[in-house]
Amino acid sequence: MLNKIKYIFKMFQKVDISNKPIPCMSCGACCSYFKVQFDSKYNPQVPWQKIKIIKGSQAVMIGAEEFKGRCESLDGKVGESCKCKIYSSRPDVCESFPVWLNNGLQNPKCIAARKHHGLKPEIE
Ligand code: SF4
Ligand code: SF4
């Protein structure tokens, strides 16, 4: 019970996350797990060859049209060495996907993606 209260308290805390590790270059799990959908109207920087329009201005990254796909713009091997081939023009949904939340806890979606790929879910 006390641990639960501590966890809830932590969820609303704001902490300095600038020194936390960012292992994305040796991970890439989220790019091979989630459906990557965004509004193309607000993402003109994303190369049109890399996306598929699904409805109106809603678009998905090719390869990541569905859950558990793999974005075709991901280069490398998940869990070893990865990089986004369109890093500087990736969609906002990718840019804003955090490893760490403002409260210092690891993003549960990051944990889920890493777990799915057999990587150590928690980053230390
Ligand atoms: S799953 Fe987490 S650690 Fe891995 S690439 Fe995505 S944000 Fe980075
Ligand atoms: S566009 Fe880049 S960052 Fe976004 S899912 Fe694809 S590989 Fe990952």
Residues sharing a CB contact under 8 Å with residue 7, sequence separation 6 or more, in sequence order: none
Count Cβ neighbours within 10 Å for each residue of 80-93 and write b for 16 or more, e otherwise.
eebebebeeebbee
In this structure, the residue with its CA closest to atom 1 of ligand 2 is 90
Is the CB of residue 84 below 6 angstroms from any atom belonging to ligand 2? Answer: yes
Domain ranges of the chain: 16-116
Q: Is the CB of 64 under 6 A from ligand 2?
A: yes
Calculate how far, in angstroms, residue 1's C-alpha sits from the geometric centre of ligand 1. Answer: 30
Contacts of 6 (CB under 8 A, 6+ apart): none
Q: Which residues contact 21 (CB under 8 A, 6 or more apart)?
A: 123, 124
**Ligand 1 nearest atom to the CA of residue 98, by list position:** 7
Q: Provide the pairing of β-strand 74-77 with 81-84.
A: antiparallel
26: CA distance to ligand 1 center in Å?
9
pTM of the model: 0.91
In eight-state DSSP terms, residue 45 is T
Q: What is the pLDDT along the chain (124 residues), one digit of tens a residue?
A: 666 666 666 666 788 898 999 999 999 999 999 999 999 999 999 999 999 999 999 999 999 999 999 999 999 999 999 999 999 999 999 999 999 999 999 999 999 999 999 999 999 8
